[in-house]
Amino acid sequence: MTKRLTGFQPTGNLHLGNLLGAIRPLVVGQERATETIAMIVDLHAMTMEHDPRTLRACTLEVATLLLAAGVDPKRTALIAQSQIPEHTELHYLLECTAAHGEAARMIQFKEKSAAGGPVRLSLLTYPVLMAADILLYDAQEVPVGDDQNQHLELTRTLALRFNARYGETFVVPEGVRPESAARIMDLAEPTRKMSKSTAGEAGRIGLLDPPETIRKKISRAVTDTAGVVRHDPEHQPGISNLLAILAECTGERPGIYPNYGALKRDVTEAVDALLAPIRKGHAELSEDPGYVREVLAEGKTRVRPAALATVRRARAALGLLD
Ligand code: ATP
Ligand code: MG
């Protein structure tokens, strides 16, 4: 059985892009009996300025949303990274095998550290923590979007180097493209991907947006003056994005549309049909926050033995006393 690991940053505002690009492939994967770990990477959310109360609330919110969207805790281990201390232990052990330059050349580090303000040291070393997250569970497959390719390559490099220098210790993971290759674009700026971290709300459909908000955002989605509904991402990025959203939500090829209004109406309906059960599930789960915490505790119990075994192997290989 192939072991897969998917991570979600608890930075809030989970959106339609996260659902279609990451959560749904995860839910579909668990139905094919792939062994899956869904991890809320709360430690990664501390690499930039953060507010403790918001972090705690977001971690529980993301766990709740994943459950509401179909993550089945019987089949998928749902965990919060920081609750399993072996992540930070393996992080340090791996840091002792990584070079400063390897971390400093990461594009995401360069971009985020250039944004101004003090740069946390953890922002530099975060890709090594990500390597620890993956190697800890002997994950064979890691679904990665383009933005994470470089980090996965570093994970592979560190694992291969460690195995060669200190003896076979880690499973070397493969990056796989998510089943749904769809990259959902921002509704207000359709040449940029829909993101949690962009300032404006207009281009992002939140998983908990009420129907009226969804309708407004889609009706105001930026289009063009061509007046023809066709898939042409280069010249009609807005319309192409709406067509992609429709296809992803319904699982069918979109039909012919006489005008933009008719397309937007169908997109609204399809998005709402997809999100309504998630809203409902989230509302039900929110009534019992103790349940979500229990699921995380169960996930921890389930994955901990593998994490402990990996750290034990790594410590022994490096010459540390047991
Ligand atoms: P941030 O702006 O904080 O980086 P994000 O919206 O990019 O947030 P992540 O937490 O980085 O979200 O990614 C979670 C998962 O969702 C990843 O697997 C990522 O590839 C996927 N994802 C993110 N944005 C999109 C999108 N617009 N379309 C499809 N998949 C997406
Ligand atoms: Mg991202």
Average pLDDT over residues 158-184: 89
Give pLDDT tens digits for 101-119: 999 999 999 999 998 889 9
Domain 2-181+289-318 homologous superfamily, CATH: HUPs (3.40.50.620)
Start and end residues for every CATH 3.40.50.620 domain found in the chain: 2-181+289-318
Instruction: Give the model's pLDDT for residue 146.
Output: 74
Domain 182-287: give its CATH code. 1.10.240.10
Give pLDDT tens digits for 67-85: 999 999 999 999 999 999 9
Beta-carbon contacts of 258 under 8 Å, excluding residues fewer than 6 positions away, are 229
Give the whole-angstrom CA distance, residue 184 versus residue 204.
10
Start and end residues for every CATH 1.10.240.10 domain found in the chain: 182-287
- Let me know if 193 is a catalytic residue: yes
CB of 22 closer than 6 A to ligand 1?
A: yes
Give pLDDT tens digits for 260-304: 999 999 999 999 999 999 999 999 999 998 999 999 999 999 999
Q: How far is CA 219 from CA 75, 103, 184, 266, in A?
A: 38, 43, 17, 11
Identify whether the C-beta of residue 281 lies closer than 8 Å to the C-beta of residue 67: yes
CB of 10 closer than 6 A to ligand 1?
A: no
CA of 196 to the centre of ligand 2 (A): 8
Q: What is the DSSP string of 212-281?
A: HHHHHHHHT----SS------TTT-HHHHHHHHHHHHHHSS-----SSHHHHHHHHHHHHHHHHHHHHHH
Instruction: Give the model's pLDDT for residue 29.
Output: 85
